[in-house]
Structure 1
Amino acid sequence: MKRLTLITLLILIQIKVYGQQYSLKDFNLEGDINSWYSTRFDSVNIKPMTGVLASLASQRPKVNAFFTENTLDWMKASIMYDNQRYDNVRIKYDIEQQLAYISHPLNKQTITLDQKLVNWVKTPAGVFKPKNDATGYYLIIFEGEQLSLVKESSKRLVIQNREFDYARTDELYLLTNNEKVRIKNKKSYLKQFPTHKKDIKKFMRSQESREINRMGKESFLIHLAKYCDNLSIQ
């Protein structure tokens, strides 16, 4: 099928090459045919399009069920699905239902991805991976040699005076040695690495740490995760 597509395209190119000013150099025909095909046609490949058809929940800017607020636009993403990569996929992550949706590139139909087949999803918001023990995905905010710091988000629908809104919850977890530990604040690292308490406390008091702490809680916890990742491999 791929070779037939390539041959058809070559015929069309030869017919219209002068009128549309195409150059055969643009098609890199000496490269790997599978890579050439995947680069241009993966977003309409059949595998991700076989999921359940879905309809999106009622939404408006700043009040929606999705991970990214303040916009109704679909995120452009690359996904590894059933160990095959697809680029330029339009995707939304519904954190109320804990489902990932993609938009069919041809008819714009909304399709639910099969979580069991998702390896990862790379978006402008970061890289999402499916949870092993529950429905939904987590966002990787730091990935080290020995540990990762991830964010799990959820929303619940709140209706008051016939108006709907969403209450959002974001929780951070440390993934290490196949264990999942909730990270609430800087003290969580002291509990997780008791043999390095003095070193961690000293690091927290450094000028660099104090400056990053002023940037916000999440930035500071990422900063500590990077430090503790180095501790764990010493």
Structure 2
Amino acid sequence: MRIFTTVLLFLTITATRSFAQVAENNIAAASAINYPLSLYKEATSMSQNLYNGRQYYVYDARQEEFQFFNQRKWVKGVIYYDGQRFDSIPMLYDIYKDELVIKHFNGDHVLVQSEKVDYFLLNNHHFARFESGTDINEQMRTGFYDILYDGKTRTLIRRFKSRQEKIVDKRVIALYPQKNFFYIYNNERYHSVNSKKSVLGLFPEQKKELRKVLKDEKIKFRKNKEVAIAKIVAKHDELAKP
């Protein structure tokens, strides 16, 4: 009888341990499945927020000129949207309408909500959204500006395309000439500049040194306006250091 009781007790303990081990294994397996699933759900919810916009239809798709910044094809970039950063997002920047377009997983073109975009990085350019009367002067329109130089004397470019039409062989041809508007922050406000004279006029005490920068680096202002302005402003900040 004692032998039977001992054997029964041993079997009971063994079965209990086996059951506990199986239970632990099941819990571990469930956790291993649920953890990546929770990560996927979290990432998906953020992505759904990013892609929660109106569908965008590419207009003038067969025209030689186009409404986008730099090129017509999709380019992967970075967007900081509604407090979240998203990398490697295929995007197009329609500078005629000042709208950012991204490609959905299913191939749809989605127009992101501009007011939720802090900035986006595209083609080695940093575009940020500025509010008229808050971040920039009242006369400057709210929208995306390309940050040319991000030092004390911040310099912005508003890239703009207009749409024009001409008739060729009874066909309507759409043209998209581009203009760039430059703004330099100085004395607590932005100043519109376009010529070398207007840029140097903001820094009268340093004109000689700033002219020398362009001469030494053989930069022609009219031929390479963006580089010239960035060099002048950066040199100004360097000279202005206490």
TM range (shorter): 0.7 to 0.9
C-alpha separation between the residues in 2 aligned to 1:57 and 1:189?
Answer: 37
Aligned residue for 2:155?
149
The answer to whether structure 1 residue 55 and structure 2 residue 54 are counterparts is no
Aligned with residue 167 of structure 1, among 168, 173, 177: 177
Gaps of 5+ in 2: 1-29, 133-140
Aligned residue for 1:92?
92
Shift of the 7–177 alpha-carbon distance from structure 1 to 2, 3 Å rule, reads: farther
Shift of 1:118: 0.7
Structure 1 residues 70-149: aligned runs within 5 Å:
72-104=72-104, 106-133=105-132, 134-144=141-151, 146-149=152-155
Structure 1 residues 21-60: aligned runs within 5 Å:
41=43, 45-60=47-62
C-alpha separation between the residues in 2 aligned to 1:199 and 1:231?
Answer: 9
SS at match of 1:147: coil
Shift of 1:166: 1.2
C-alpha separation between the residues in 2 aligned to 1:187 and 1:5?
Answer: 67
* Contact 1:89 1:103 (C-alpha < 8 Å) held by counterparts: yes
Letter in 1 for 2:90: R
TM-score, with structure 1 as normaliser:
0.73
* Contact 1:149 1:172 (C-alpha < 8 Å) held by counterparts: yes
Shift of the 85–121 alpha-carbon distance from structure 1 to 2, 3 Å rule, reads: same
Letter in 2 for 1:180: Y
Aligned residue for 1:7?
33
* Contact 2:214 2:231 (C-alpha < 8 Å) held by counterparts: no
* Contact 1:42 1:87 (C-alpha < 8 Å) held by counterparts: no
Shift of the 83–221 alpha-carbon distance from structure 1 to 2, 3 Å rule, reads: same
C-alpha separation between the residues in 1 aligned to 2:228 and 2:161?
Answer: 24
Aligned with residue 158 of structure 1, among 134, 157, 164: 164
Aligned residue for 2:234?
226
C-alpha separation between the residues in 2 aligned to 1:228 and 1:151?
Answer: 18
Structure 1 residues 203-214: aligned runs within 5 Å:
203-205=213-215, 207-208=216-217, 211-213=218-220
Q: Which has the higher mean CA deviation after the structures are superposed, 116-125 or 191-200?
A: 191-200
Aligned residue for 2:27?
none
C-alpha separation between the residues in 1 aligned to 2:191 and 2:117?
Answer: 23
Shift of the 42–125 alpha-carbon distance from structure 1 to 2, 3 Å rule, reads: farther
* Contact 1:213 1:219 (C-alpha < 8 Å) held by counterparts: no
Identity of counterpart residues, as a percentage? 23
TM-score, with structure 2 as normaliser:
0.71
The answer to whether structure 1 residue 216 and structure 2 residue 242 are counterparts is no
Aligned residue for 1:65?
67
Aligned length: 200
SS at match of 1:77: strand
* Contact 2:185 2:191 (C-alpha < 8 Å) held by counterparts: yes
SS at match of 1:187: helix
C-alpha separation between the residues in 1 aligned to 2:86 and 2:197?
Answer: 41
> Over aligned residue pairs, what C-alpha RMSD do you find?
3.1
Aligned residue for 2:19?
none
C-alpha separation between the residues in 2 aligned to 1:158 and 1:109?
Answer: 28
